[in-house]
Amino acid sequence: MPETSVRVRFAPSPTGVLHIGSVRTALYNWLFARHEGGTLVLRIEDTDQERGTPEALESVFGTLRWLGLDWDEGPDIGGPYGPYMQSQRLPIYQQAAARLLERGAAYRCFCTQEDLARMRQAAEAAGRVPRYDGRCRGLDPDEAARRAEAGEPCVLRFRMPDMERLKVPDLIRGEVVFEAREFDDFIIVKSDGFPVYNFANVVDDAGMKMTHVIRGEDLLPSTPRQLVLYDALECPPPQFAHAPMLLTPERRKLSKRDLPEGALAYRDEGYLPVAVVNFLSLLGWSPGDDREVFTLDEIVQAFSIDRISPAPAVFDKQKMEWLNAQHLKRTPGSELAPLVRERMVAAGMLGPGEPSDEEAGYLVAVVDLMKERARTLNQLVEHSRFFFSDEYAFDEVGVRKRLLKPEGMADILVGLAGSLDAVAPWTAEAIETSFRASADAQGVAHGTAIHGARVAVSGQTVGPGLFDLLAVLGRERTTARLRAAAEKLRAGAFLSGSGTTA
């Protein structure tokens, strides 16, 4: 492998479910890796003993897999730089910390959390910036080591070098300059022996040979600290790219609160993975032309870091829905059918068993017909109910307008059914010819017959073209439903029930 080969990583911490903002970060890393023919590493940053959960870890895997964002090295598949769970890398951090300690780049600090809280309060009361005052900086290292060995709790702090300012080169924002006096001697190892984020992150990114770090803008302020750590560790830093935040419509940072179920909730709502990826890719990035509907491959091909915008983006669900509709239309029914099927089974519209070839074919035909108008899989399922059961609901307005309205609709429907009995072959074209002829013979306007028949067989006033619909529905169902509706009309059954007053 050439040494110019790109290596990037997605490094979530498994606290709570994976949310959509993290997914966008994962996506940008994945796109960059795939575009460059590089390597994507999945690393789990579980150094927070208190907050990590196994469910959260499952959520990371599940979400990425659902979206088709695969990784080349990770906790489940290993790789040359493992392990890929930070909780299993403790010796590596300890070793790195020991090196810094030895060199005097880090020192032991025995201040308690109460001491620090007091310091902070005092500083705030005095209107000063709260920073660690460095009181343990000058402790004799040998003496400090003795106290630590004697069991006195302590943390390890990084000795901030003397410098005027810290410059962070960023692929998206150019050079970002921080004043060095903003930074105090920050903690790198907690008193429980675990490394703190900034430290573990740098040790791993350096150790795993990352060439680029693409992450959220919220991490930009911690980058200067990381840069001095790379320096102290004598490792070359990666190139940084801080992607803009995702905002709610109220312009708040998108967080777990906004979608407690996590990004997988969009699967449950009936979104296609490709649509979610397509939508997310366009939040903060654009290909530079007017294209908006992409396949995965097209996005990979078009992606580049320098076209990522620095400005935060509002997550607009309506646009995601539209994109989903576009992908629904473009995806063959045969591909959609398994997804639709599991939803129909869940909704009790289909049995859980293996479908026969005929049933499977019917489902594909229904999906091909209905996907043109649906915005989500769930909507498609909902609108397709009448294809699978005779127990479909009648739209009240539709009944009043299209069945009750023209006097004698019952006779018309029966007439239509009669002519359809003879149609062969059962194709949209043949159905239309026969249907229109029957309407003519009965002296009924085509529109009247069509509208009436639509409501009779589907209960709905909207949907695909009637003849295509009937072709899929089948002769048996069609004629039976036309006659059943006529029966019901004659019995006055449509008038019973509620809401017959306008």
Partner RNA sequence: GCCCCGGUGGUCUAAUGGUCAGGACACGGCUCUUUCAAGGCCGUAGUACGGGUUCAAUUCCCGUCCGGGGUACCA
Active site residues: 256
Q: Which amino acid is it at 322?
A: W
When asked if residue 325 is in the footprint of RNA (CB under 7 A), the reply is yes
Find the part of the chain contacting RNA (CB under 7 A) among 262-270, 369-377, 406-414, 416-424: 369-377
Is the omega angle on the peptide bond into residue 425 within 30 degrees of 0, that is, cis? yes
Among 252, 257, 330, 490, binds RNA (CB under 7 A): 252
When asked if residue 451 is in the footprint of RNA (CB under 7 A), the reply is yes
Among 264, 466, 482, 486, binds RNA (CB under 7 A): 466
Among 237, 467, 481, 486, binds RNA (CB under 7 A): 467
Residues between 128 and 167 that touch RNA (CB under 7 A): 129-130, 153, 155
In the complex, the smallest distance separating the C-beta of residue 467 from RNA, rounded to whole angstroms, is: 4
When asked if residue 276 is in the footprint of RNA (CB under 7 A), the reply is no
Among 20, 26, 42, 45, binds RNA (CB under 7 A): 45
In the complex, the smallest distance separating the C-beta of residue 313 from RNA, rounded to whole angstroms, is: 3
In the complex, the smallest distance separating the C-beta of residue 128 from RNA, rounded to whole angstroms, is: 8
Q: Are 252 and 223 in contact (CB under 8 A)?
A: no
For RNA, the closer CB: 136 or 232: 136
Q: Alpha-carbon distance 182 to 193, whole Å?
A: 26
In the complex, the smallest distance separating the C-beta of residue 193 from RNA, rounded to whole angstroms, is: 9
- What lies within 8 Å, CB to CB, of 132 at 6+ separation is 109, 111, 116, 119, 157, 184, 185, 186
Among 36, 205, 368, 432, binds RNA (CB under 7 A): 432
In the complex, the smallest distance separating the C-beta of residue 374 from RNA, rounded to whole angstroms, is: 7
In the complex, the smallest distance separating the C-beta of residue 289 from RNA, rounded to whole angstroms, is: 7
When asked if residue 75 is in the footprint of RNA (CB under 7 A), the reply is no
Per-residue DSSP letter, 403: I
* Distances 239 to 17, 38, 124, 305, 385 between C-alpha atoms, Å: 28, 15, 36, 11, 53
In the complex, the smallest distance separating the C-beta of residue 34 from RNA, rounded to whole angstroms, is: 21
When asked if residue 245 is in the footprint of RNA (CB under 7 A), the reply is yes
Per-residue DSSP letter, 80: T
C-alpha of 265 from chain center:
8
In the complex, the smallest distance separating the C-beta of residue 51 from RNA, rounded to whole angstroms, is: 5
Among 65, 167, 257, 319, binds RNA (CB under 7 A): 319
Count other C-beta atoms under 10 Å from residue 381's C-beta.
25
In the complex, the smallest distance separating the C-beta of residue 247 from RNA, rounded to whole angstroms, is: 6
In the complex, the smallest distance separating the C-beta of residue 464 from RNA, rounded to whole angstroms, is: 5
Closest to 446 measured CA to CA, from 467, 425, 422, 427: 467
When asked if residue 299 is in the footprint of RNA (CB under 7 A), the reply is no
Among 87, 94, 211, 222, binds RNA (CB under 7 A): 222
Q: Are 403 and 448 in contact (CB under 8 A)?
A: no
Angle of helix 409-421 relative to helix 428-442, nearest 10 degrees, comes to: 140
Encoded one letter per residue, x for contact with RNA by CB under 7 A and - for no contact, window 371-410 reads -xxxx---x---x---------------------------
For RNA, the closer CB: 212 or 451: 451
Find the part of the chain contacting RNA (CB under 7 A) among 33-41, 73-81, 184-192, 410-418: 184-192
Closest to 371 measured CA to CA, from 343, 339, 344, 333: 333
When asked if residue 198 is in the footprint of RNA (CB under 7 A), the reply is yes
When asked if residue 454 is in the footprint of RNA (CB under 7 A), the reply is yes
When asked if residue 177 is in the footprint of RNA (CB under 7 A), the reply is yes
Task: State the number of binding residues for RNA (CB under 7 A).
Answer: 90
Q: Alpha-carbon distance 18 to 24, whole Å?
A: 11
* Distances 87 to 51, 73, 82, 122, 369 between C-alpha atoms, Å: 13, 17, 12, 35, 51
When asked if residue 125 is in the footprint of RNA (CB under 7 A), the reply is no
When asked if residue 310 is in the footprint of RNA (CB under 7 A), the reply is yes
Going along 25-129, which residue ranges are E strands? 39-42, 106-109
* Distances 415 to 130, 234, 419 between C-alpha atoms, Å: 86, 88, 6
Among 142, 164, 234, 290, binds RNA (CB under 7 A): 290
Among 1, 164, 318, 499, binds RNA (CB under 7 A): 318
The H-assigned helical ranges of 140-243 are 141-149, 197-207, 223-232
When asked if residue 333 is in the footprint of RNA (CB under 7 A), the reply is no
Find the part of the chain contacting RNA (CB under 7 A) among 74-82, 249-257, 264-272, 338-346: 249-257
Is the omega angle on the peptide bond into residue 161 within 30 degrees of 0, that is, cis? no
When asked if residue 89 is in the footprint of RNA (CB under 7 A), the reply is no
Find the part of the chain contacting RNA (CB under 7 A) among 47-55, 298-306, 337-345, 487-495: 47-55
* Distances 236 to 97, 210, 211 between C-alpha atoms, Å: 18, 10, 9
Residues between 8 and 37 that touch RNA (CB under 7 A): 11-13, 15
Q: Alpha-carbon distance 430 to 424, whole Å?
A: 7
Q: Are 214 and 32 in contact (CB under 8 A)?
A: yes
* 3-class SS shares of the chain: helix, strand, coil, % to 5: 50, 10, 40
Q: Which amino acid is it at 175?
A: E
Find the part of the chain contacting RNA (CB under 7 A) among 27-35, 214-222, 333-341, 492-500: 214-222
Q: In degrees rounded to 5, what are phi and psi of residue 403?
A: -110, -45
- Residues pairing with 168 in the sheet: 176
For RNA, the closer CB: 191 or 331: 191
Strand pairing report for 106-109 and 155-158: antiparallel
